[in-house]
Structure 1
Amino acid sequence: MCGIAGWVSYTADLTTRRSVVDDMTATMSCRGPDASGTWIRRHVGLGHCRLAIIDLPGGQQPMTVDTPRGAVTLVYSGETYNFTELRRALEGLGHKFRTSSDTEVVLHAYLEWDAGLASRLNGMYAFAIWDERDQKLVMVRDRLGIKPFYYYPTPDGVLFGSEPKAILANPDVPRIVDMDGLRELVAFTQAPRWALWKGMYEVEPGQILTVSRAGITARTYWRLEPKPHSDSLEDTVGNVRELLTDIVERQLVADVPRCVLLSGGLDSSAITGLASSFLGSELRTFSVDFIGREETFRADEARDTPDTPFIRDVVSMVNSQHKFVTLSSALLCDPGLRRKVIAARDMPIGFGEMDTSLYLLFESIRAESTVALSGESADEVFGGYRWFHDPFVVGTDNFPWLVYQSAMSGDRAALMCPHLRGHLDIPGYMAAQYSDAVAAVEHLDSDSDFERRMRTISYLHLTRFVRMMLDRKDRISMAVGLEVRVPFCDHRLVEYVYNAPWALKSFDGREKSLLRHATSHVVPGSVQNRLKASYPSTQDPRYNTELQSQVKEVLADRDHLAMSLIDWDWLTDAIAMDPASMPSNVRRGIDRILDLYHWADMYNPIIDRPD
């Protein structure tokens, strides 16, 4: 796991701009605290910051192979879980290796198969290869978009980086956010290629970009496709169990300490149980909690029970070395911590303590482990979110996560100033994005109307919603140098479960039926029977009180850029509310305003908007 950055310019001499490439690379130091390096030639500069996971003394980057026609150089972020098999295949074809790293395997795979290597990789990755033989740059991103990857086309080439901050460090890039950037920030639909900053884009998951003197071309090497599913229920459950076992075993490979994130839900408990069969007494687990939460817990729209009792049941079953990271409201409200999260994500998302608590959890884990396995994305793969099973949501032509009653739904533009709200037209934007997303879904002729609808909902989650969640986990974990692996995003599992009929995915009348039964041998009964619960959030009203106190200072700073974007009346009403009875969407709105305020301070953006 690492951070990459680079610059290709076919008209400039970049050997005179090394300091700029160094600065771009330095912004990725949190992603790779163990080593860094840059590689400069006349028309290309590549930078890399390394978090050493496999082959600690080897695997240094940028990594180069000199060929008779020129150098081929790689900067790589991520993990290739099938690198052992690929290495054997390449050795059989005559390739010689100097290290035992997966990075060198990827480089030699390119030498053998060119861009065709992408379809052979199993893993999470974002990498760029400069091929001096053809004076081209090849950029590849993993199938689900687990690893972030951004690029900025220039008149004579491209800039790229693991995160926007690497690109923004180049003085030739203006920090402009236009109306399209703001629309998506507010709407939460995860529009393809969106990167907030004007002129900057994401490399799409499952995509290869090739940069040459002729420009930039894109090719998709993987997409979700409908395929007939003829396996019986028993065979389907067995295949899911076999796939998950293989996936977890592969993703536990590392030369550094490993652990599992354990929330007490089915997803993380399943990964924990499977990992225990490989790690035994070496298994370490971590979870986050809040002071007094178990004793004062109140059921809400996101969770019916506290996590702690279920975590204890799992720990008792697998006998892991467990640590609770218990947090206070005062700690979660720290403005300095908020700024760290904003710096990690490069934008004001407004998830509040759901992000700051994750940062503190990862920071605590990093003191003891370098790699963590997570249950992230099981809900998208197996249909676990509550809205998958809500007839009203299923029957509504909109993104399900924006229809279901939660802090994410409702009028998401309500806190924006009225003039700006009118120009943004968030309802119209959401409708257009939904129409585009649905049009991309392919169906089987044999699919019933209901099956088509559920396939569509699954597709929306696996191509849009999951990317928001994966970006959140990657950016915050890598901000503290922790590599988080996500077994449920293995493309083999995703493809298989995506094509299982909905009747199989909910055959026992509950959510995630296939996962529940496939992992019943490693999960305690209490967890198997537990209802879906969201990531934990503090219920302490003192958190709301502190938010109100901090946002009063924002309201007083009338000349601040953030104040030109928000509705003062909305904020005034929010400040006057009783903190003990503040609705969750209001609290999240205050968090979004505070994020916007600090983000504007930190990034000094130019807002390109109508007068």
Structure 2
Amino acid sequence: MCGVTGWVDFERDLSSEHATAGAMTRTLACRGPDDEGVWLGGHAALGHRRLAVIDPEHGRQPMHTTAGDGSGVVITFSGEIYNFRELRAELIAYGHRFRTRCDTEVVLRGYVQWGRGLAERLNGMYAFAVWDQAREELLLVRDRMGVKPLYYYPTAHGVLFGSEPKAVLAHPSVPRRVTAEGLCEVLDMVKTPGRTVFSGMYEVRPGELVVVGRSGLTRRTYWRLQAHEHTDDLDTTIATVRDLLSDTVTRQLVSDVPLCTLLSGGLDSSAVTALAASELGAAGRGPVRTFSVDFTGAGTGFEPDAVRRATDAPFVREMVRHVGADHTEVLLESGGLSAPAVRDAVLTATDAPPAYWGDMWPSLYLFFQQVRRHCTVALSGEAADELFGGYQWFHRRAAVQAETFPWLTPGSARYFGGRGLFDRKLLDKLDLPGYQRDRYAQARAEVPVLPGESEPERALRRVSYLNLTRFVQTLLDRKDRMSMATGLEVRVPFCDHRLVEYVFNVPWEMKTFDGREKSLLRAAVTDLLPQSVLTRVKTPYPATQDPAYERVLRRELSAVLADGDAPVRELMDLEKAREVLRRPVGGVSRPYDRGSLEMALWMNTWLTAHDIRLEL
């Protein structure tokens, strides 16, 4: 998967800045444990950490071409291009000659052939930078759905960039400064495209190009969701979804290293697993390797709640039998979630406190750590709920019609955010409701309109757009950071832009034609899955119900309250925190209640260990 970083300065010679470029690159070592490379030349320095997936023996980066005058093009690339074979054949027909079998060289020579127009030709998940020596121009490109992250920090004479903020922050000129706006991004379930937690730093938006030259920095959108009339009937729509998903999974099975799927026993991951099993079997590549996660004792001590009615294990095992998978069940100890080394690894990976359900981050990290012992690449069912309407807020009239993000309406908002222990005066100063309104207005203004569409259909299109451009970004970011922290590449077939474009324009009555959530997806894979999985109600990623985890949080919070130098104390309502600690164990045992304790602890470590300067 890899990590990329770099520095462009039109007023300095960077050819001797190996120490700084190397320091920026090494912050991304987890993203690329197999190799490191730094390229220096005049006004640009590019760094790369490699996770070798295709053509492991070759494909070192940064990769470059050389023109007759000694100039050329240099690339540092992260991600996977799923149509690289077709593009390679097309480029060979144009006269290009290749030295490797990897997709990075296809992107490099694609830029030489098509320039900025290359982006529209790519199918995949990617974030990369191209330095054109002749033009003295840097091009930053991010995939259409934002699966791969890419950050940048404009300077007086150029730019700094990296796969994660930490790479940019490693440059000595960049302060670790967080303003009120950045803190709002931390404390609310609102991930604003292009914005970051750190002052002066930006994120390349999904489907965007950023060009940096001597004349300045410009941005251009090369892809966005468009509204089109859907003319296919229901049978054709179901068949088209099946064809697109099958093709996407097939493309994403290309790998020269061990590959698996992440299986929860739900509709989404089971569909991906079944399609992968079929393709691998037909190609003679053996049974599909699968992994699932749960907590020890979950089967005996589990208590159904409003969002999780059953454990995953019975459905996973039935699915494993159904497709003949080579399966590994990863069981986590709740105590491991609070281990200092694990929490430090999570916070280092995220660069900011996790915004919701804090135990899901360390558990996902530990799960991926176990998967990585066996495989380098995994396919996941992420984004199907956003695409096909799986969440309950798609089906609640009040949420659909609300003048805010549907997941932040009553009945949903309690599952997100963790500001319950923060001082009311601070929260009033931040004006989180006002910030939320502004971000919602910005998002709503982007929603494409189909002339003649009814108001109910338009409202559901709006909810779909908000989920595909805002909510899913939080989940993709979590998936990317936790997987890359362990050196695991996770692919997401439901984020294929062809599938997203098609399903986005399918009328809601077709998406729910049988009166259930995700009817369209269920119909498209009905012949692949056992009945129990097909009819299973949507269930989220597992969270621990072990009260021992809450006890650890309480002990840590007590220590923070007793430490007069703890920086988070200035942000907290101390009496409210003490009142929480006086409750009996179990009084804050639900994941969405525990979020307040977790956020206070994450915040304290972030401010302390990461040298953050708050300017509120």
**CA deviations over 1:337-360 (Å, ceiling 9, x no partner):** 111101111110153221111001
Using a 3 Å threshold, how does the CA distance of structure 1 residues 410 and 8 change in structure 2: closer, same or farther?
closer
**CA deviations over 1:426-484 (Å, ceiling 9, x no partner):** 11111111111111111111210000000000000111111111011001100010000
Residue aligning to 1:508: 514
Residue aligning to 2:11: 11
The 8 Å contact of residues 83 and 105 in structure 1, kept in 2 or not, is answered as: yes
User: Normalised by the size of structure 1, how large is the TM-score?
Assistant: 0.98
Matching residue's letter, 2:451:
D
Following superposition, the deviation at residue 411 of structure 1 comes to: 7.9
The 8 Å contact of residues 387 and 404 in structure 1, kept in 2 or not, is answered as: no
Could you tell me how far apart the structure 1 residues matched to 2:170 and 2:532 are?
Answer: 50
Residue aligning to 2:64: 64
Residue 333 of structure 2 is aligned to residue 332 of structure 1? no
Q: How does 1:574-593 map to 2 (within 5 A)?
A: 574-582=580-588, 583-593=590-600
Following superposition, the deviation at residue 407 of structure 1 comes to: 6.6
Could you tell me how far apart the structure 1 residues matched to 2:547 and 2:415 are?
Answer: 22
**CA deviations over 1:163-220 (Å, ceiling 9, x no partner):** 0000010011011001110011112211121210110010000000000011100000
Could you tell me how far apart the structure 2 residues matched to 1:404 and 1:225 are?
Answer: 30
Residue aligning to 1:155: 156
Question: Which deviates the most, 360-369 or 329-338?
Answer: 329-338
Long gaps (5+) in structure 2: none
Following superposition, the deviation at residue 601 of structure 1 comes to: 2.2
Secondary structure at the aligned position of 1:87 is classed as helix
Secondary structure at the aligned position of 1:49 is classed as strand
Using a 3 Å threshold, how does the CA distance of structure 1 residues 402 and 523 change in structure 2: closer, same or farther?
same
Secondary structure at the aligned position of 1:225 is classed as coil
Q: How does 1:85-484 map to 2 (within 5 A)?
A: 85-280=86-281, 281-350=286-355, 351-406=357-412, 408-409=414-415, 413-484=419-490
Could you tell me how far apart the structure 1 residues matched to 2:339 and 2:147 are?
Answer: 29
Name segments (4+ residues, structure 1) moved above 3 Å.
Answer: 406-414
Matching residue's letter, 1:594:
L
Following superposition, the deviation at residue 408 of structure 1 comes to: 4.5
User: Normalised by the size of structure 2, how large is the TM-score?
Assistant: 0.97
Residue aligning to 1:596: 603
Question: Which deviates the most, 581-590 or 258-267?
Answer: 581-590
Could you tell me how far apart the structure 2 residues matched to 1:407 and 1:563 are?
Answer: 25
Following superposition, the deviation at residue 331 of structure 1 comes to: 1.1
Question: Which deviates the most, 76-85 or 298-307?
Answer: 298-307
The 8 Å contact of residues 153 and 202 in structure 2, kept in 1 or not, is answered as: yes
Could you tell me how far apart the structure 2 residues matched to 1:428 and 1:211 are?
Answer: 33
The 8 Å contact of residues 419 and 599 in structure 2, kept in 1 or not, is answered as: no
Long gaps (5+) in structure 1: none
Question: Which deviates the most, 77-86 or 428-437?
Answer: 428-437
Could you tell me how far apart the structure 2 residues matched to 1:84 and 1:109 are?
Answer: 12
Using a 3 Å threshold, how does the CA distance of structure 1 residues 474 and 411 change in structure 2: closer, same or farther?
closer
Could you tell me how far apart the structure 1 residues matched to 2:235 and 2:417 are?
Answer: 44
The 8 Å contact of residues 145 and 204 in structure 1, kept in 2 or not, is answered as: yes
Using a 3 Å threshold, how does the CA distance of structure 1 residues 538 and 488 change in structure 2: closer, same or farther?
same
Following superposition, the deviation at residue 301 of structure 1 comes to: 2.2
Could you tell me how far apart the structure 2 residues matched to 1:406 and 1:434 are?
Answer: 16
Q: How many residues align?
A: 609
The 8 Å contact of residues 406 and 585 in structure 1, kept in 2 or not, is answered as: no
Could you tell me how far apart the structure 2 residues matched to 1:301 and 1:497 are?
Answer: 28
Could you tell me how far apart the structure 1 residues matched to 2:255 and 2:533 are?
Answer: 29
**CA deviations over 1:313-363 (Å, ceiling 9, x no partner):** 100101111111101111112122111101111110153221111001100
Secondary structure at the aligned position of 1:285 is classed as strand
Could you tell me how far apart the structure 1 residues matched to 2:358 and 2:328 are?
Answer: 23
Question: Which deviates the most, 378-387 or 342-351?
Answer: 342-351
Matching residue's letter, 1:56:
P
Secondary structure at the aligned position of 2:54 is classed as coil
Could you tell me how far apart the structure 2 residues matched to 1:336 and 1:598 are?
Answer: 12
Could you tell me how far apart the structure 1 residues matched to 2:152 and 2:30 are?
Answer: 19
Secondary structure at the aligned position of 2:586 is classed as helix
Identity %: 50
Matching residue's letter, 1:432:
D
Following superposition, the deviation at residue 555 of structure 1 comes to: 1.1
Residue 543 of structure 2 is aligned to residue 537 of structure 1? yes
Could you tell me how far apart the structure 2 residues matched to 1:393 and 1:245 are?
Answer: 33
Following superposition, the deviation at residue 406 of structure 1 comes to: 4.4
Could you tell me how far apart the structure 2 residues matched to 1:552 and 1:173 are?
Answer: 34
Could you tell me how far apart the structure 2 residues matched to 1:320 and 1:370 are?
Answer: 18
The 8 Å contact of residues 401 and 408 in structure 1, kept in 2 or not, is answered as: no
Could you tell me how far apart the structure 1 residues matched to 2:583 and 2:594 are?
Answer: 10
Could you tell me how far apart the structure 2 residues matched to 1:249 and 1:290 are?
Answer: 32
The 8 Å contact of residues 146 and 205 in structure 2, kept in 1 or not, is answered as: yes
Could you tell me how far apart the structure 2 residues matched to 1:529 and 1:482 are?
Answer: 31
Matching residue's letter, 1:588:
G
Following superposition, the deviation at residue 153 of structure 1 comes to: 0.3
Secondary structure at the aligned position of 1:581 is classed as coil
Matching residue's letter, 2:462:
T
**CA deviations over 1:364-415 (Å, ceiling 9, x no partner):** 0100000000000000111101111122212221111111524745885432
